Structure 1
C-alpha cells in the first residue's frame, strides 16, 4: 500500500501539488497574533504556548475555554495544573530557564524565581490561585478578558469580562480578601492584582466534565517591558509511561500599543518593504547590464535576474502580511499563500543558481558531470522539503504537538543544503588545480581558479553570516532589537547577490570573464605554441567533445 501511495504522489501534476499546498495553508492553526490552539489526547507535561515582546501598556489575554482531564480524583494538596508566565532575559534566547531541573519534578510545586507569575488550577475547590514572584510594581493581572473597542467614536469603552461557565447548582469560589484591588464596573466586580499584591484567587468554571477560566495581564511601566513566555503545565504527565491524556482549547491574544506585532517584529514591515525595493532595483540594474552586453550574456545571467525579482516579490508579500497582522491580528489568506509560493520559488532558485555557478556551468562548460547532476538531484528535493517545512511551521501554533518536529526538520534540511552546494565549487577548484599544470593552458586555468576560489569564499561567508552569526545576534541583543537578525540576513543576501553579479557580469573588460570558450581555447593554445616556436614539426589534432568537457 505504501509503495502504491508513493507512486501515486509521483504522478501528481503541479496543479495538484498547488492544491495540496493551499489546503495545508488553510488548515493551519495559526491566525497571526490571535492564537487559537486546540489539542486532543495531549500527553506532554509542558506545552510552550507562545513568546511575545511587550512594551508599556501591552496586554496578554488568555481564555481557557476547555480543559478536560481523564484522570481520577486525587488527594494532591498542591495543584499540578496551571499556566506559567516567564520573562526571558536578554542573552538567553528562548531557552527555558527551568530546563536544568529534575525532569520528574513539578515546577509548580516549589517557589522559584525562574517564574514571574503562576496560575495554579485547583480542580477540587474550583479556583485558580495566582502567585507572583519578584518585584513587579506595575504588572496588573485580572480575571476575564480586556475591554473591547468602542462601537462609536466618543462613547466610553464597554468592559468585556468573560465569567467562568459553571453547572447549574455549582458555586464558584472567590477569595475576596486576597483579590485587591477591586474595581466596580456597573453591577460587576472586576478583580485585579497589582505588583504590590502577591496572591489572587479567581473562579474556575466547571461545565459537564471540562473546566474553563480567563485572565489578562497588562504591562504597566517600562520596568516590566520585555520578552514573555507563556507555558501550560500538567505535572500528572511527568512520569514517562504513566501519562494521562487531556484535551485543551485556549485562545491567546497579545497586543502592543501600536498593534498586534511583538516588539521585535514592529520594524519588519518597513524593513521588508525597503529590502524589496533594493532587490527590485538590483534586478532592474542587472537586466539593463544584460541588455547592453547581449554578445556575452549566458542563460545563467537571466536565471540570476529571475532570482532577484522573485526575492523582491517574496519580500513584498512578506511586508504586506506583517502590515495586516499588526492591524488585524491575522494575515490575509490570499496574500499569505502568495508569499509562501514566492518564498518556495526563491529558495529553489537560490540554491540552483549557486550550484550552477559553482559547477562552472555556462561560464566554463555547458555540460554537467555525473557527480554534479547527483548534487542537483539532492539539493532540489531538499530545498522543496525545507520550504514545505517552513510553510508548515508558519501555519502551526508554537504549542502544537508537531511544531518542534517541523522546526528540527527545517534546521536540519537547511544545514544539509548549505553544505551540499559547496561540493560543486570544491570540485571545480580541484579540477582547475590539476588542469593548470597538465594541459598547457596555465594562464587560463589560473584565472578560472582565482574566480572560483573567490566565489567559494563568498558562499562560505554568506552561509556563515546568515546561519550562525545572525542567530547569535538574535540571542545576544535585547528583545526590542532582535529584528536586527532579519536585517543582517537580508543585507547579507543582497550583498551576496551584488558581489556575485559583479564578478560574473557580462562586461568586455571584466578579467574574470575573459575566459576562452570552446574553440577559443584551442586558438589561444595554438597561438602560444606558435609564438614559442614549439609548433615546428607538429600538427594539430582535433579534440573530441568529451575531451573538452571538464569533469
Structure 2
C-alpha cells in the first residue's frame, strides 16, 4: 500500500474501538519485505532500517528517492551522512549498539562495518568504502531488473541514473553532476582499490541515488543490518530535523523471506496441525467423560483451536510474502484477530486454572477479580503493540517505543498470572490444617504446586532460554527460536490437559474410596492413585463454604 493510501486511512477516525483496531489490522500487512519508509522532521543520528539474512545470489536494493537536510546556513562543512551495511553474527544485535552514542560509525574505519556509503553533498557523489575481505560482494548503481540474469549479477544497462536538477544556478554543481553519466569507467578503476564512486542526484533541494548489492559467494552469506547515519545529529544539543524517503527490497534466490524465515511456512503449518489434533483429542476426552467436565475444560479446547487457526493464517501469510513480497490483506487481518484472541484466551485460561476456579472453588475472590481486571487490558495492549509493530517499518520513530511496550507488558502479564496460583497454594495449605478432609486438600496442593512449576518453566523457557538461543545460533538457524517457542507451548498445553483431564481415574479430580482417616500424610503426597472430584468433596455445606 502506498504512503498516500496509508495517510488517507489514517485520516479516518472511527468512533468505535473495534473499528480502530480493525484499521490497525489492515495496516499490519502492508509493509511486508518490500520496505518503504518516509520520515519527516527526523532528528535521530542513527536509524536502523532493516535486518535480513542473505544466501548466495541474494540481493539488496536501496532507492533513496528523497533526502533533505535541514542544516543551518552558517554550516560550511558538508554534513557526514550515509548508509552502513554491516554483517553480524547474531540477528538481534546491531553493530553500533555497543558504541558511544556520540560516536558516528561513518567517522571510523571500523572492521565491523562491512560497507559504508558516504554521501557527499558538495561533490554530488557517494563514496563506497569496503572494509574486510569481501571480494565477491557486488555493488552497482541503480536497481536490479525485474528478471535478473542467471548468475544473479547486475547488468550495467539497467542502472538508474540519479535525477539531477537542470536548473541549478551554480556552475560547480553542474560540472560535478556530469560524472554520473560515465560511472562505469570510474567504477572499473576504483574497484581495484576497493572503493567505488556513485553519482548523487540533486533536485529541488533534495538528494537521491540508488544502488544494489548482490551476495556473490557462500563466504558473503550472513545476517546484514542496513542503517542510516546523520553524524551532524550525533552531538546532543545541535540536532537538526531532516526528511528521508527510502525504498528497500531484499530477496533470496527462493523468495522475499530472510534466511531464518524460509522454513517458517512449513513450521507453522505443521504446528497448526499439531494443535488442531490436540484440540480434537481434547474434545473427544470431554465427550467421553461428561460427568466431570467443567466450563474451564471447554475454554481449554477453544484455546487449542484458536492457536491452531492463528498458526494457519501465519503460515499462509509467510507463503505469500515469500512469493509476492507482501501478504494478502484479508489473511493478515484474520491472523491478527486470531492472534489477539489466542493471547487473551491463553492468559485468561492460565489465570483461571491457577486460581482454582471449578477445581477448588466456583467463585473468584476480590483479589483474583482484580488480577483479571489487570491481565485482560494488558493483554489487549500487548496485542495492539504487536499489531502496531507489524504495521511500522523498523526505522520508524515509534517502532522502538512499541517494541519496548510489548516486551514490558508481556513480562508484567507473565508475572501477574502467577499470583492466583500462589494464592491457591496458600489457601490449600491453610485448609489442610483445619479441614477434616486432609487428603483432598493435600492432593490439590500437590496439583497446584506442579502447575506452578509448569507455568514458571514455560515462561522462563519461552522468554529467556529461547531468546538466548536465537542470539547464539547462526543466522540460518534462527528459526529454531520459533520452533522451541511453539513446541514448548504445545508441551505446556498437553501437560496442563493431562493434569486436569476430566477422566474418572484422574488422581486429582477424585478421592480413593477408602476412608481418608486411615491414609497417612506421607502416602498422600506420593501416591499417584489419589483422586479428588468436586462432586465428592462438596458433601456438606460447611465443606462447600470452605472450598469457596
Equivalent residue number for residue 67 of structure 1: 67
- Give 1:316-465 correspondences, 5 Å limit: 316-465=312-461
| 1:129 and 1:200 in contact (8 A); partners too | yes
Consecutive unaligned residues of structure 1, counting only runs of 5 or more, are 1-13, 183-190, 524-540
Give, in whole Å, the separation in 1 of the partners of 2:261 and 2:100: 35
CA 1:253–1:522: 2 relative to 1, 3 Å: closer
1:166 Cα deviation after fit: 0.9
Per-residue displacement from partner, 1:408-428 (whole Å, max 9, x unpaired)?
Answer: 000000000000000000111
Equivalent residue number for residue 143 of structure 2: 145
1:294 lines up with 2:286 in the alignment: no
Q: Secondary structure at the residue paired with 2:316?
A: helix
1:168 lines up with 2:166 in the alignment: yes
1:95 Cα deviation after fit: 2.4
Consecutive unaligned residues of structure 2, counting only runs of 5 or more, are 1-13, 168-173, 512-531
Give, in whole Å, the separation in 2 of the partners of 1:29 and 1:107: 33
Per-residue displacement from partner, 1:63-117 (whole Å, max 9, x unpaired)?
Answer: 000001111353336x510000000124xx4323333433223221221112100
More deviation in 27-36 or 428-437?
A: 27-36
Give, in whole Å, the separation in 2 of the partners of 1:467 and 1:145: 40
Give, in whole Å, the separation in 1 of the partners of 2:441 and 2:319: 51
Give, in whole Å, the separation in 2 of the partners of 1:163 and 1:380: 54
- Give 1:46-445 correspondences, 5 Å limit: 46-72=46-72, 74-76=75-77, 80-90=80-90, 93-149=91-147, 160-168=158-166, 170-171=174-175, 172-174=177-179, 197-445=193-441
1:521 lines up with 2:537 in the alignment: yes
Q: Secondary structure at the residue paired with 1:368?
A: coil
Q: Secondary structure at the residue paired with 1:250?
A: strand
CA 1:312–1:402: 2 relative to 1, 3 Å: same
1:26 Cα deviation after fit: 3.5
Q: Structure 2-normalised TM-score?
A: 0.87
Give, in whole Å, the separation in 1 of the partners of 2:147 and 2:452: 56
| 1:88 and 1:226 in contact (8 A); partners too | yes
Equivalent residue number for residue 36 of structure 1: 36
Equivalent residue number for residue 542 of structure 2: 543
Computed over aligned residues only, the root mean square deviation of the Cα atoms, in angstroms, reads 2.4
- Count of residues paired in the alignment: 503
1:30 Cα deviation after fit: 4.8
Give, in whole Å, the separation in 2 of the partners of 1:385 and 1:316: 23
Q: Structure 1-normalised TM-score?
A: 0.87
Q: Secondary structure at the residue paired with 1:509?
A: coil
Give, in whole Å, the separation in 2 of the partners of 1:286 and 1:368: 25
Equivalent residue number for residue 536 of structure 1: none
Give, in whole Å, the separation in 2 of the partners of 1:435 and 1:278: 40
CA 1:387–1:266: 2 relative to 1, 3 Å: same
CA 1:544–1:521: 2 relative to 1, 3 Å: closer
1:522 Cα deviation after fit: 5.6
1:493 Cα deviation after fit: 0.3
Give, in whole Å, the separation in 2 of the partners of 1:162 and 1:445: 76
CA 1:390–1:519: 2 relative to 1, 3 Å: closer
Give, in whole Å, the separation in 2 of the partners of 1:54 and 1:519: 60
Per-residue displacement from partner, 1:2-30 (whole Å, max 9, x unpaired)?
Answer: xxxxxxxxxxxx99333211222334595
| 1:264 and 1:479 in contact (8 A); partners too | yes
Give, in whole Å, the separation in 1 of the partners of 2:211 and 2:469: 34
Give, in whole Å, the separation in 2 of the partners of 1:89 and 1:522: 60
Give, in whole Å, the separation in 2 of the partners of 1:99 and 1:351: 34
